[in-house]
Amino acid sequence: MDDYALVLNAGSSSLKFCVFQRPMAEGWRLEARGQIEGIGTSPRLSVKDGNGEILTKQDLDAGVRDGRDAVDALGTWLRSKYGGSRVLGVGHRVVHGGSRFKGPTILDRQVLAELNELVPLAPLHQPYNLAAIEAVFERLPGVPQVACFDTSFHRGQSAVAELIPLPLELRQAGLQRYGFHGLSYEYIASVLPQVAPEIANGRVIVAHLGSGASLCALKDGKSVDSTLGFTALDGLCMGTRPGAIDPGVVLHLFQGLNMSAKEVETLLYKKSGLLGISGISNDMRDLLGRSEPEARLAVDYFVYRAAKEIGALTAALGGLDGLVFTAGIGENSAEIRQRICNASAWLGIGVDEAANSNGEAKISTSLSTVSAWVIPTNEELMIARHTGSLLGLAKAA
């Protein structure tokens, strides 16, 4: 294989990666996609090629205890597979870029130090994103790295959309609405002209529904507003996160129930949402297959919150031309799509049940005044594009 770029998405117990061949005129080509999961417990490497064929599935040494070890294990596999090729650059998904980083950024030690200051705003993701960057600095010191932020796509929203109504001195210290899942929304916006040209320049709400869930209002392909704000706790109900709640609830957790800051953080990030409501699971697939009333209530609330926020973002857009579903639940659950569209039928959305069940791109009826779509997201390709652009990796055919 020719020289390649590596895309990393590091989490607390997994390291997801993609290998992209250096682009010719037709763009980046995916060579391999995989992950190391079970880091710190039972680490396992699984990789598929660009066509989805299995390249390897193997248990790793139990010594893969953290993200740095996982990067080492990945490096060993890459050398065995692509030993004659060169890593041209590494692109990273970084959840929070704060107010300073408004676009993809070439990484150095100073940038890494500034990103570490944002860890309290994204404690579930940021520390692991940055640990992978540090590991590449150590293991591949001559390879340039690029940080691609989930917040960047939302920069440029209006002042009222970014505002948190607190005193000026606090807002000047960085308290504002940032929005997340930006790489996913940016990708969807980039493919709308090809997949759904009739709405690409209109008013569109994209529903990124997965373990983390949010909505983004697009006008002419640009972010106008989104449901996630200062942190990734806002907006929709998620797998283990509550979404929007009365701030007084948090005060009561501290003052009335005498919970510590760490206990509150754990509650809000890891024990709430679908898991908290159901007491059964944070996985929508599990809940849809269960008959317990708590499981049904969790699903009902998820749909209710999504439909409610679609109405709010429609108001922010001044109307709606299209609704796009993406991410794990959005792409794979016909039932959740159907229920959200039914709850939003007042907007003019009608679902073609056969198209929805068959996973077609357009799932609305011909009589719908607002069309509905299913478009798979590709955050990794978006990262590869940004990495290539900043590092000048593209070459002519």
pLDDT at 397: 33
What averages of pLDDT result for each successive group of 10 residues across the chain (397 residues)? 85 88 77 89 89 88 81 88 85 91 94 93 88 91 93 95 96 93 96 96 97 96 96 95 97 97 95 97 96 97 98 98 97 98 97 96 96 96 92 64
pLDDT at 356: 97
Question: For residues 271-309, b (16+ Cβ closer than 10 Å) or e, as one string?
Answer: ebbbbbbbeebbbbeebeeeeeeebeebbebbbebbbeb
Tell me the per-residue pLDDT of 284-334, one tens digit each, with 9 for 90 and over: 999 999 999 999 999 999 999 999 999 999 999 999 999 999 999 999 999
208 Cβ contact partners less than 8 Å away, ≥ 6 residues apart: 181, 184, 185, 214, 215, 216, 326, 327, 330, 377
- The Cα–Cα gap between 13 and 70 comes to 10
What secondary structure letter does DSSP report for 121? G
- The Cα–Cα gap between 335 and 230 comes to 31
Domains 4-156+380-391 and 198-374 share a fold: yes
CATH number for the domain formed by residue range(s) 198-374: 3.30.420.40
pLDDT at 169: 95
Domain boundaries, the chain: 4-156+380-391, 198-374
- 206 φ, ψ (degrees, to nearest 5): -105, 125
pLDDT at 25: 63
| Second CATH level (architecture) for the domain 4-156+380-391 | 2-Layer Sandwich (3.30)
Question: Of these residues, 2, 72, 150, 286, which one is catalytic?
Answer: 150
CB-based contact 337:313 (threshold 8 Å): no
pLDDT at 249: 97
**Residue 51 is which amino acid?**
N
Cα–Cα separations (whole angstroms), residue 361 to 197, 314, 358? 12, 22, 9
Tell me the residue ranges of DSSP E strands in 38-135. 44-49, 54-59, 87-94, 105-106
Question: For residues 10-25, b (16+ Cβ closer than 10 Å) or e, as one string?
Answer: bbeebbbbbbbbbbee
pLDDT at 395: 56
150 is catalytic: yes
326 Cβ contact partners less than 8 Å away, ≥ 6 residues apart: 184, 188, 206, 207, 208, 209, 374, 375, 376, 377
Chain-centroid distance, C-alpha 373: 19
Tell me the per-residue pLDDT of 196-237, one tens digit each, with 9 for 90 and over: 999 999 999 999 999 999 999 999 999 999 999 999 999 999
